[in-house]
Amino acid sequence: MTDTRAAHAFPGLRTPDGARWHYLDSAATAQKPDVVIDAVARALGPDYATVHRGLYARSADMTLAYEAARRTVAALIGGAEHELVFTRGATEAINLVAQSWGVANLRPGDRILLSMLEHHSNIVPWQLIRERTGVAIDVCPLTEDGLIDLDAAERMLTPAHKLVSFAHVSNVLGSMLDVPRAVALAHGVGAKILIDGCQSVARLPVDVAALGCDFFVFSAHKLYGPTGIGALWARADLLGAMPPWQGGGSMIDRVTFAETTWAPAPQRFEAGTPAIAEAIGFAAAARYVQDQGLAAIHAHETALVATARAALGRINAVRLLGPAASAGIVSFTIEGVHPHDLGTILDEENVAIRAGHHCAQPLMVDLGVPATARASFGLYNDETDIAALVRGIERTLRIFA
């Protein structure tokens, strides 16, 4: 992997006065490389036009670029372009599955299996569907080291379960799901399985065909791309059978006041003028991580996690959470120091972490803490960021002492 920080590829990694910013919050949103910023700027500037509608040359060119972006993003996860729907993000992608596939297929007496570590975005949409359909929700516990307990899942799953929806990588603990086994368990009882790939696509090589899942969702902004866009990948047969969940332009075949017929998937699920520049940026980000090498990114972040956990483990007041082998994320607490106070003091040291419940309040209850501090790495981080984090923690302990 190239030394992207040394190449100044990420302009956001400097403070306004030019100092180095130790950014350790990539699990929330990643900084953007120049190639993504430039791609979005071109799309909003000299290349800009609408897509799918104009008969003039620039609109035709932008339409080709937009659909090429779909191919690029789909290829990142080993999918085909006709299987990939652009959404506003992973949250909307999960809601799309819930409101389309879920409403069409779930009935009273059916069950959904989630896990204790899920992000709110993989909990609340299913609760809304529970109110509409009468489906029941079960929660799979975690192992002692913070993995989704697939042995427990195997015991819990029954033919009544119609959907399993698990995170590929926990946004709090960095724990990685054994997706092939989870898929086998779900399919073994006739259930479909959705994988939340928000934290995995920027950190791990992903191949949906090899994983065998039915639905896979992810967002651009955690992948070094722009905000406001994400994607749903779904098996073509499932996507083709799903009804639209929003109505408007672009997703129709023919409209009369008597009836409307729908465009085929994926256009059926993309009502209105799409996020054109964002899709171009999404594709630029996908190309960028592929150029860097996702296996190399994972190895780099794994080494940083090991270094960080070793350094933090030497501080008596620190309690480390989650498995030692995590994907780019380290969560911890400090005895006598609220994570919000730690985050504020670290900010004075030009160190940015996330402090709070991380949109995973049920997990916080399970861990027995109100909040955690979270350091999450990107391909631009190195050991100097960890050293700055440790210095900031030591200063915080002196203040609170």
Across the range 166-192, mean pLDDT stands at 98
Q: What is the DSSP string of 125-162?
A: HHHHHHHHH--EEEEE-B-TTS-B-HHHHHHH--TTEE
Instruction: Give kind and range of the element (H or E) at residue 390.
Output: helix 383-400
Calculate what percentage of the chain has a pLDDT beyond 90. 90
Instruction: Give the tens place of pLDDT for each residue, 89-144.
Output: 999 999 999 999 999 999 999 999 999 999 999 999 999 999 999 999 999 999 99
Q: What residues contact 144, with CB distance under 8 A and at least 6 apart? A: none
Catalytic center residues: 359
User: Which residues contact residue 151 at a Cβ distance below 8 angstroms, ignoring those fewer than 6 apart?
Assistant: none
Q: Give residue 153's identity as a one-letter amino acid code.
A: A
State how far the Cα of 81 lies from the Cα of 298, in Å rounded to an integer: 26
- pLDDT of 7 reads 43
pTM for the full model?
0.95
Beginning with the edge strand found earlier in the chain, give each strand of the sheet holding 329-334 in spatial order: 318-321, 329-334, 372-376, 354-356
Supply the Cα-derived Rg of the chain in whole angstroms: 22
| Three-state DSSP state, 291 | helix
Fold of 11-30+293-400: Aspartate Aminotransferase, domain 1 (3.90.1150)
Place of tokens 């994400």: 230
Could you read off the pLDDT of 241-251 as tens digits, one per residue?
999 988 887 87
Tell me which CATH code domain 39-291 carries: 3.40.640.10
Cα separation, 87 vs 74, in Å, equals: 13
- Number of Cβ within a 10 Å radius of residue 210: 11
For every residue of 59-118, DSSP letters joined together read: HHHHHHHHHHHHHHHHHHTT--GGGEEEESSHHHHHHHHIIIIIHHH--TT-EEEEETT-
CB 278 within 8 A of CB 226: yes
| pLDDT value of residue 6 | 42
Report which of 204, 206, 146 is spatially closest to residue 170, judged by C-alpha positions.
146
What are 199-227's pLDDT values in tens digits? Answer: 999 999 999 999 999 999 999 999 999 99
pLDDT of residue 233: 98
The span from the CA of 178 to the CA of 160, in Å, is 23
Contacts of 208 by beta carbon, 8 Å cutoff, 6+ apart = 77, 78, 79, 216, 233
Domain boundaries, the chain: 11-30+293-400, 39-291
